[in-house]
Amino acid sequence: MTEAAFLLDSNICIYVLADAQCRAARRLGACEPGSVVTSAIVYAEVLRGIVDHGAAAIDQYNRFFRRIPVVPFDQSAAYVYHSIPFKRGKFDRLIAGHALSLGLTLVTNNTEDFADVPGLRIENWTL
């Protein structure tokens, strides 16, 4: 199996779930299996937003996350999180800490929200 290189942010997952032909979905489709993962934080965020959309949406969500491994937010991620500049009410900081702790590039459309995180590599697959 290919080693992970990218961690998907919530917005990228949502774009792909909403449009399987969007630019982010095409970029994701070009990646080797196993090279893209996501955080348990992202998994929870996306589920929170999709739960009111019915059984078909939840089925699509489940299929998506069977293909994109969900990595547990662990003690190492928590330790890195504590060193990131704090912004109240932002799950983004947890996600950034998780990507940093794993040495992965974060794939997001919210590049501005992550711009002040030292050492975080970011790609925007929507451009």
Q: Is the predicted pLDDT of residue 38 greater than 90, yes or no?
A: yes
CA of residue 2 relative to chain centroid, distance = 18
Residue 77 maps to a domain: yes
In 3D space, the residue among 37, 19, 13, 24 whose CA is nearest the CA of residue 125 turns out to be 24
104 belongs to a structural domain: yes
Tokens for 4, please give them. Answer: 């992970």
The answer to whether 98 and 41 are in contact (CB under 8 A) is yes
* 1 in a structural domain: no
pLDDT value at position 52? 81
Question: Which tokens is 47 given?
Answer: 């589920």
Say whether pLDDT at 1 is over 70: no
Q: Residue 81: which CATH number?
A: 3.40.50.1010
Q: How many structural domains compose the chain? A: 1
Q: Does residue 103 fall inside a structural domain? A: yes
Structural domain of residue 22, as residue ranges? 6-123
pLDDT of 89? 62
